[in-house]
Amino acid sequence: MKGDIVSSANVASVVRLKLLKHIDRVVYPFAHVASAMENQSSVSQLNLFQHVEEVYKATPDAALDNESLYKLVARRAGINDATLNHRMPIGTAGKLRSKAKRAIRWQQQQLKHLQVIERVPGERGVWRLTEKMRSGLHKARPGMTLLAFSTDLGMALWGTSPHSLAKLDEPIELLLTSAPYPLRNPRAYGNPRCEEYVDFICAVLEPIVPKIAATGSLVLNLSNDVFLEKSPARSTYLERVTIALEDRLGLYLMDRVIWANRSKAPGPVAWASKARNQLNVCWEPCLWMAPDPLRCKADNRRVLLPHTERHQKLMAAGGERRDAEYGDGAYRIRPGSYGNLTAGRIPRNVLEMGHACSIGRAHRRVLQALGLPTHGAGWPLSVPDFFIRFLTEPGDLVVDLFGGRCMTGLAAELNERRWLCLELMLEYIRGGAELFRPFKGFWINPSLGGPGELHPQG
């Protein structure tokens, strides 16, 4: 694909001719839900059903006891602890029971009757998604690539990494992705095991890394919370991945940027809540690598933050008036220090960002209305938005190899960068298309049909 691969008005037809010559047709139908749920301010029975259902769907490979269910539903529904735990006489016997917990259990039984969840054999009050619900995603076959949707700035491909980009001859300025974590119990979209993770990551990246521009970067979001079996000790897979990216692929470590997400669910439950010998987790590392550190086009002036009111007053007053030394003379403050008027303050390498965002919540409601599954591990718009602004310029090409709901593509679109997202699961990339309908040149493959459905091609 030569030239400006995603900026022309007729990108859809051009790319289809280049990528879809020998592509299999899509034949998987979606179930369609005709109308959307209304966003209500109070927790109605209908909304409570949604919250209970979404808690189970957000943890597709985990079994939940009722106490965990109560807490997660309360968090989603905005039920405070006092309301959740308030007990009142219920029934003819007048036993004290929590009305809120009773309502949650009632919705749990509705999900059981609908064959959405099932009780874990031998466990009291522990439920999980049924096998039918856990395996509701359709993977692209190896070597298969389908242009799912596009805008004037970018496109999303349903296919396997790295095969889908084998013919790309456009330099990538930012390869930004959140790879599947090495989980002992894989999620619905599939996860490699810890012992095979280094080879998995290198196999995916090896054909793509040579396509990264000399001025470009790789940002790889991984998990810090992978534990050894039956142990509170963490795996050192992160260190092994970092070294492998240097030794095998010739990349240099620029930084380990911390994504601190203080709204993460408490965990690890076994070691923090039960054994009490670990702390609750709240951060994930983003490995920032570059093929040529001295030529990397990162520029912190593109992500400056507003000065605090105190610092603005300090600059306006001409800076410091004192003379002081700290750290045995390593740091010295002189009269006039910090007196220059600057555009903003340089961000620290710890990004304080919750996992939820208004766009993500609105997108979730759309997916529910269309009968499409939500992604269990999507990141908020703010994370890719930061790295795209920091590491690229308008017009640069941003690529995400594990696109999920295509939030990276959306951040690139909003920042006037060209983008290309790949996703293995058909349902996720179909749902991601709904984020791009307002943008210029939006086109969706007719094989994916209208909202919430796929039209089999004969």
Tell which phi-psi region holds residue 174, choosing left (phi > 0), alpha (psi between -120 and 50) or beta: beta
d(CA 304, CA 55): 37
How much is the average pLDDT of 268-276?
A: 93
Same domain, 156 and 236: yes
Alpha carbon of residue 181 to chain centroid: 11
Q: Give 428: exposed, middle or buried? Use CB within 10 Å, 0-12, 13-18, 19+.
A: buried
Q: In what order do the strands lie in the sheet with 117-119?
A: 64-65, 126-129, 117-119
Question: Are residues 373 and 428 both part of a single domain?
Answer: yes
- pLDDT over 60 at 228, yes or no: yes
Highest averaged pLDDT of the listed ranges 40-44, 116-120, 228-232:
228-232
Q: Which residue has the higher pLDDT, 156 or 50?
A: 156
163-187 pLDDT tens trace: 678 788 899 999 999 998 887 655 5
Q: How far apart are CA 149 and CA 425, in angstroms?
A: 14
409 and 270 assigned to the same domain: yes
Together in a domain, 222 and 356:
yes
**pLDDT given for residue 5 in this prediction:** 35
Residue (of 291, 303, 288) closest to 221 by Cα position: 288
Residue 17: pLDDT band with limits 50, 70, 90: very low
Read off the pLDDT band of 429 (50, 70, 90).
very high
Q: CA 109, CA 116: separation in Å to the nearest integer? A: 10
What CATH number corresponds to the domain at position 418?
3.40.50.150
pLDDT at 376 > cutoff 90? no
Each residue of 388-402: pLDDT tens digit? 999 999 999 999 999
- The DSSP 8-state label assigned to residue 228 in this structure reads -
Picking from 371, 376, 375, the residue whose alpha carbon sits closest to that of residue 450 is 371
Q: Are 143 and 268 in a shared domain?
A: yes
- pTM of the shown model: 0.70
Report pLDDT for 7: 33
Average pLDDT over residues 227-234: 94
Buried b (16+ CB within 10 A) or exposed e, 155-186: bbbbbbbbebbeebebebbbbbbbbbbbbeeb
Tokens 């209908």 belong to residue: 46
Domain range for 330: 306-345
Do 144 and 259 reside in the same domain of the chain? yes
The CA R_g of the chain, rounded to the nearest whole Å, is 25
Indicate the range of 229-243, 354-368, 394-408, 411-425 predicted with least confidence: 354-368
Final residue before a domain boundary, out of 104, 134, 164: 134
Q: Does residue 40 fall inside a structural domain?
A: no
Q: What is the count of structural domains for the chain?
A: 3
Tell whether 453 is covered by a domain: no
Are 241 and 284 part of one and the same domain?
yes
Give 382-418 as a DSSP string: HHHHHHHHHH--TT-EEEESS-TTTHHHHHHHHTT-E
What mean pLDDT value characterizes the chain?
83
**Is the per-residue pLDDT at 405 higher than 80?**
yes
Pairwise CA distance, residues 340 & 316, whole Å: 9
The three-state (H, E, C) secondary structure of 264-323, written as one string = CCCCCHHHHHHCCCCCCCCEEEEEEEECCCCCCCCCHHHHCECCCHHHHHHHHCCCCCCC
**Residues above pLDDT 90, as percent of the chain:** 47
Res. 40: pLDDT tops 70: no
Q: Which of 345, 374, 399 lies at the terminal end of a domain, its last residue?
A: 345
35 assigned to some structural domain: no
333 in any annotated domain = yes
Mean pLDDT of 413-427: 95
- Is residue 36 a part of any domain in this protein? no
